[in-house]
Each structure stands twice: as structure tokens, then as C-alpha cells.
């Protein structure tokens, strides 16, 4: 039988594709980085990329990281002590050492004056002693030195202790605080040369510059006329100071004999520094080698 047609075809719903998807589990050694996770970094969106971890590549990366760590490992900073008799050229060598090696230059006399000027607790105690005409006790000076050695520039760059310790008691006190140097430099100059250097030394009170009548005379007559001489820069007094210095140094060396180098100070300053430079360079190389072997 024929069916009547009304002119409208019935609408048959077309099946829609399934919108859900199965979750695929990646192997344990697969890392997925999706485009959405990179979007906040300003990266262009892209389909998910998979990077498969490789044990060989991981081992190579670890080795390279280790090598980089060794290469960038910084050896411990140097701790240097330098001693020399009056007019031995110690001040000049300290300047040359700090200029090349960047060590913190620490002189006990400078520390003492700075603490007194700052009105610190140690400075007040030191000032009381000086006003009474007494020597500042070792315990006060050692505390000043210890605190200075704990400042950031000394800890990071190393330090150069100028003319200290001067006695066995000072050296012992430093050791009790755990302060140990890597090298003790002793400048040696014959006594007759030291006497000549000291007796001929003059001070310009206007500029603070030190002259020597023979080796570094003043530039003009005007400067020469105003030069002064320290009251203890006489032959008799300098010999007494040298005798005391030698006695004290011998006592100090008994504690530092294993790290002491003796440098000929009776030479041009460049030649004296060349001797010191060789010792410090060798010490640094040994330190780097030790640091590298420990990192390995």
C-alpha cells in the first residue's frame, strides 16, 4: 500500500562523535610537557611533546655538572702574616701584596687607633691604658684582631696580618682563638742597613710623607726645611728596638716555623716582592689542587 506523503521529510538525528577520550598512561620514564604549561612563559602553543629520559644522557649530564662544579670551586682564602724590623720595607711589601692578591690588610696599630676613635668598648679600655702611659694589654689587641678577621672582607678575600703577632704571648692568644695563618713571611735585612735607613728617615708634617736624606731626599728646599725626625730614630734607640724585635721574632717563629719563609729584604722593592709573589702563587696553586681533589 502506498503511503501518503505530507511534503515534509522526517528529521533523523545524526550520531555525534564521542567527545571523551581515553587517558593514555605514559611509561614511567616519559615526561610530558603540554602547551598550556608553557603558555605562561610566553611560548607558542604546540601539541604535547614527550621527552624520554635516557640513563646514558643523565649520566653524561651528571658528569658535566660535576666537572663544572670542580672548575668553579673556589679555594679557601689565604691567611698571611708578615713580620719585619723597623725600616725593613714591610709597609711597602704589604701594599704590593694587597694590590695583587686582594687580601684585607690588617695592622694592629691601625686597629687600635680606629677603635679608640670609634669609642668602642675595646677602644675605651685601650684609651684608659694609653692615658695612664701603660701598654695596651695583649688581650685587648687580640680581641680587636679577632673581630677584624671575622669581618666579611677578611672571610671572603683572605687577610694579611701586618706586624702581628709581635710576641709569643700574642701568638699563643691567636692560636687559642683558632686563628692560624697559611704563611709567615719574615723580611730579613742586615742590622747596619736598618740603622742607616732609620737614622736618615724624615717626616713631612704637612703631607705625612716619609723621606730619607740619602735614598729619597725631599724635592725642594722648602720641604727640606720643615722635615722632622722621630725622637726614637737615633742610632742608640734604633739598636735597642732592633734587639727587642729580634728576641720577640725568635719566640714567635717557634710557633710558626713550619710555615715560615725568610725573604731577603736588602734588595729593590720589586725584587723583594718577586720572592714573596713566588711563595704566594705556589701556595694558591696547592690550595686549588687540594680544592679540586676534594670536589672530585
Q: Which of 50, 209, 226, 230 is catalytic?
A: 230
Q: What is the predicted pLDDT for the residue at 138?
A: 87
Q: What is the bridge-based pairing of β-strands 210-212 and 104-107?
A: unpaired
Task: Classify the phi-psi angles of 10: left when phi > 0, otherwise alpha if psi is within -120 to 50, otherwise beta.
Answer: beta
* Cβ neighbours of 141 (radius 10 Å): 23
Q: What is the predicted pLDDT for the residue at 74?
A: 66
Residue 165: is the preceding peptide bond cis (ω within 30°)? yes
Residue 23's pLDDT is 41
Whether 148 sits among the annotated catalytic residues: the reply is: no
Active site residue 14: no
Provide the grid cell at 97: 701584596
Q: How far, in Å, CA of 213 to CA of 249, rounded?
A: 29
Rounded CA-CA distance 257/280 in Å is 17
Predicted confidence at residue 180, as pLDDT, reads 93
pLDDT (tens digit, 0 to 9) for every residue of the chain, 296 residues total?
444 444 444 444 444 544 444 444 444 443 343 333 333 334 444 444 333 444 444 544 444 544 444 444 567 899 999 999 999 999 999 999 999 999 999 999 899 889 899 998 888 988 888 888 777 888 889 999 999 999 999 999 999 999 999 999 999 999 999 999 999 999 999 999 999 999 999 999 999 999 999 989 999 999 999 999 988 899 999 999 999 999 999 999 999 999 999 999 999 999 999 999 999 999 999 888 876 666 55
State residue 259's pLDDT score.
Answer: 96
Active site residue 22: no
C-alpha radius of gyration, the chain, whole number: 37
Query: What are the b/e assignments for 53-65, b being 16+ CB within 10 Å?
Result: eeeeeeeeeeeee
Active site residue 90: yes
Q: How many CB atoms lie within 10 A of CB 200?
A: 17
Q: Which of 127, 237, 241, 287 is catalytic?
A: 241
Q: Give the pLDDT confidence score for residue 130 in this predicted structure.
A: 82
Active-site residue, 113 included: no
The one catalytic residue in 90, 148, 197, 202 is: 90
CB-count exposure of residue 255 (10 Å: 0-12, 13-18, 19+): middle
> Is 168:250 a contact under the CB 8 Å cutoff?
no
Residue 282 cell numbers, joined: 705556589
Amino acid at each position: 500500500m502506498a503511503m501518503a506523503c505530507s511534503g515534509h521529510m522526517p528529521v533523523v538525528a545524526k550520531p555525534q562523535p564521542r567527545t571523551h577520550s581515553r587517558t593514555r598512561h605514559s611509561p614511567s620514564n616519559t615526561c610530558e610537557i603540554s602547551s598550556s604549561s608553557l603558555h605562561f612563559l610566553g611560548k607558542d602553543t604546540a601539541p604535547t611533546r614527550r621527552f624520554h629520559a635516557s640513563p646514558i644522557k643523565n649520566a653524561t649530564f651528571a658528569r658535566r655538572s660535576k666537572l663544572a662544579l670542580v672548575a668553579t670551586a673556589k679555594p679557601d682564602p689565604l691567611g698571611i702574616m708578615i713580620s719585619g724590623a723597623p725600616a725593613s720595607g714591610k709597609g711597602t711589601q704589604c701594599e704590593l701584596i694587597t694590590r695583587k692578591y686582594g687580601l684585607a690588610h690588617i695592622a694592629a696599630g691601625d686597629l687600635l687607633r680606629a677603635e679608640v676613635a670609634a669609642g668602642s668598648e675595646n677602644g675605651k679600655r685601650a684609651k684608659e691604658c694609653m692615658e695612664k702611659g701603660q701598654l695596651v694589654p695583649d688581650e685587648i689587641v687580640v680581641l680587636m684582631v679577632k673581630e677584624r678577621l671575622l669581618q666579611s672582607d677578611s672571610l671572603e678575600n683572605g687577610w694579611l696580618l701586618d706586624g702581628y703577632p709581635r710576641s709569643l704571648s700574642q701568638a699563643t692568644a691567636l692560636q687559642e682563638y683558632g686563628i692560624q695563618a697559611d704563611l709567615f713571611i719574615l723580611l730579613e735585612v742586615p742590622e747596619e742597613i736598618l740603622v742607616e735607613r732609620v737614622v736618615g728617615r724624615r717626616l713631612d708634617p704637612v703631607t705625612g710623607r716619609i723621606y730619607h736624606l740619602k735614598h729619597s731626599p725631599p724635592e725642594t728646599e722648602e720641604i727640606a726645611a720643615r722635615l722632622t725626625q722621630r725622637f726614637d730614630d737615633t742610632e742608640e734607640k734604633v739598636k735597642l728596638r732592633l734587639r727587642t724585635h729580634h728576641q720577640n721574632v725568635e719566640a714567635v717563629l717557634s710557633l710558626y716555623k713550619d710555615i715560615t719563609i725568610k725573604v731577603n729584604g736588602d734588595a729593590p722593592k720589586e725584587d723583594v716582592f718577586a720572592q714573596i709573589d713566588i711563595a704566594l702563587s705556589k701556595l694558591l696553586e696547592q690550595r686549588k689542587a687540594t680544592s679540586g681533589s676534594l670536589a672530585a
